[in-house]
Amino acid sequence: MTMIANSVGAADPTQTRMEEMNDAPSHPAADVDELVFIATTDIAARTKGRSMRLADFEESTSLGWVPANLGIGSLGHIVDDIPYGSTGDLRLKPDLASLARLDGIPGRPPLSIVFADLVNTDGTPWESCPRTFLRDAVEQLRTEFGLTTRCSFEHEFVDRTAKGDHHPFSLQAFRRAEPIGSKLMTVLSRAGLEPETWLPEYGRHQYEITVAPADPVTAADRAILVRDIVYDLFDAHGREASFAPVVAPGEAGNGVHVHFGLDDKDGNTVIYDPSRPGRLSKLAGSFAAGIIKYGPAMAALFAPLATSYQRLAPHNWSTARAFLGLQNREALLRICPTNEIDGRDPSRQLHFEFRGGDIGANPWILLGLILRAGAQGLRDELETPEIVVGELDLDDKHAHLPKLPRNLEEALAVLKDDEVVSGWFSPAFLATYEAIKHDEFASVQARSLAEQCEVYARVY
Ligand code: GLU
Ligand code: MG
C-alpha cells in the first residue's frame, strides 16, 4: 500500500488502478525503484515531463513546469519572439485516470506514465494547455449539443533500419519485424491500450498499429503512448522507427488517421440514417460540413511539418482535397464501411475517419480541432457537404473540390486569416505556434527535400 492508495476513497476506480500498479511485481531484471513519468505533450508533439519515485507519488502530487517550454519547436530549441519568457511558472497536474504502466521493453525497467493538465500555480487551467483544449472541446460538445464521441487513432510508421525488399502486407514483412511486433501488442495490451491490429503496410518497411476506441481524452492519451512505446521498443532492439509524414522523397506517407463516431449522452449513435445520402443523419452531415469547411484553415495544425504537404497530395491515399468521401481514401473525411456479415447491425458501426493528420500534430489538439470544427458546423446548421462517391476525378468531375494549402507557410497564412479557427486558441498559444512554425519552415526550406525528410525522420 502506498500513500496514494491510502488517501483515496474505496469507491474510486483510481484507487484500484494505483493499488494494482504499486502491487505489481517489480521487473525481475531491474533492481531499481519504479518511477512515474508525469507527462505533457506540446506544439512539437513530443512527450515531455518529469519523473519521481512511484512510491512518493500521491493523489495530490503536481510538479513544476515552465510556460516557455511550449516554445520548443520540432527542431528542439525554444524559438525567439514568443510571448513566454524566462519568468512564470506552471504545474503539471496529473490526471490519475490516465495512469498507465509500461512493462516488457527489453532492458528497461517498468515505468508508470500519467498525463498532466497544465495549470497555473493556483490550480486554474493554463490558457495554452493542449490537453485542456481537447477537454474543453469535449465539454462544449456535451453541454451545447448533448453529444459524446468515441475515437481511436491509427498510426503508420517505418522501420528505418529494416533491410531487404518489402512486399506490401506480406507475411514476410510481418515476420521480419518479430519479435518486436508481438512484444508491441503485449506491451500495449498490458498498459491497457487495447491494441486491435498490427500489420505490415503498403510502403517500404512500413507498419501500422491500431487500438480500440475510447472517450476522446483517453483516445488521444493512447495515441501519445502508442508512439512512445513504439520508439522505446524499436530503440531497445537497436532499431529505429519513424512516423515522419514522408521518410524519403517518393516513399509512401505515414498518416495518423482519427476514427470517431457521434453519440447522444446515453451512448446511442446519432450518425446513422439509412434514408439519407451516405447513410448520414442531418446532424452528422452538419458536423462533417464543419470539418470540411474549416479543413484548409486547420491544415497548419493537423499537417504542421514542412514535409506534411508531400503526403497531402492526390494518389497518396492520404488527402487529395478537402472533401467528404464515401469509403474514399483520398478524402479529408471518410465515411467508413460497415461490416454486415451475418446480419451485423451497421447503425452502431457507421463512423468517420479524419485522414489529414500526421505525427507532427499533437493528438490532443488534432482531436480538439476535429470536434470544434464539427461543433461549429452544427452551430451554423451547415448542410451535408457533397459526398464524393466512387473514384476521385480531379481533372473533371471533382475539379471544383476545395484545395488544401500547398505548403506550411501558406497553411499558416490561411490559419491566421480564419477568425473562427484562430479564435479557438489563446492569443499567446497562437503567437507561439506561429513563431515555432515560421522558424521551422525557414530553417528547413533552404534544404533539399531529401534533407528535409531526413531531419523530420530523425525527430519523429
Ligand atoms: N499511408 C497513407 C497515408 O499517408 C494511408 C494508407 C491507408 O491506410 O489507407 O495516410
Ligand atoms: Mg494504413
Nearest to 15 by CA among 53, 61, 58: 58
Q: Quick one: which atom of ligand 1 is closest to the CA of 206?
A: 1
pLDDT at 1: 31
Q: Do domains 4-126 and 134-459 have the same CATH topology?
A: no
Whether the predicted pLDDT of 41 surpasses 70: yes
Phi/psi at 361 (5° precision): -90, 130
| The predicted structure's pLDDT at residue 396 | 93
pLDDT at residue 170, as a whole number: 97
Q: Give the mean model confidence (pLDDT) for residues 91-108.
A: 97
pLDDT at 316 over 90: no
Please write the tens of the pLDDT for every residue from 434-446: 999 999 999 999 9
**Average confidence (pLDDT) over 215-228:** 98
CATH class of 134-459: alpha beta
Contact 324, 381 (CB under 8 A): no
Give residue ranges with CB within 6 A of ligand 1: 156, 252-255, 311, 316-318, 329, 355
The predicted model gives 233-256 an average pLDDT of: 97
Per-residue pLDDT band for 318 (boundaries 50, 70, 90) equals confident
Distance CA 44, CA 398 (A): 35
Q: Please give the number of the atom of ligand 1 that sits closest to the Cα of 318.
A: 10
User: Residue range 82-97: average pLDDT?
Assistant: 94
Mean pLDDT along residues 277-299: 98
* Residue 19 banded pLDDT, cuts 50, 70, 90: low
Q: How far away, in angstroms, is 370 Cα from ligand 1 center? A: 19
Could you give the 3-state DSSP secondary structure of residue 398? coil
The angle subtended at Cα 394 by Cα 321 and Cα 417, nearest 5°, is 35
Whether the per-residue pLDDT at 28 is higher than 60: the answer is: no
The pTM (predicted TM-score) of the whole model is: 0.93
Fold exhibited by the domain 4-126: Ubiquitin-like (UB roll) (3.10.20)
Phi, psi of 223 (to 5 degrees): -60, -40
Contact 307, 319 (CB under 8 A): no
DSSP codes joined into one string, 319-386: -SSS-EEES-TT-SEEEPP---GGG--STTT--EEE----TTS-HHHHHHHHHHHHHHHHHTTPPPPP
SS3 for 333-344, per residue?
EEECCCCCHHHC
Looking at residue 320, its pLDDT comes to: 81
Domain boundaries, the chain: 4-126, 134-459
**Better-scored residue on pLDDT, 19 or 314:** 314
As a whole number of angstroms, the distance between CA 304 and CA 45 comes to 10
> Cell 537497436, residue?
238
Q: What's the pLDDT score for residue 30? A: 54
180-185-188 Cα angle (round to 5): 115
β-pairing, 324-326 vs 333-335, is parallel
Higher pLDDT, 2 or 139: 139
Residue 8 has pLDDT above 50, yes or no: no
Residue type, 308: S
Res 22 pLDDT > 80: no
What atom of ligand 1 comes closest to residue 355's alpha carbon?
10
Residues 31-38 have a mean pLDDT of 94
pLDDT of residue 7: 35
**pLDDT tens digits for range 157-187:** 999 999 989 999 999 999 999 999 999 999 9
Q: Is 243 exposed, middle or buried (0-12, 13-18, 19+ CB in 10 A)?
A: buried
Ligand whose nearest atom lies closest to the CA of 154: 2
Distance 276 CA to ligand 1 centre (A): 28
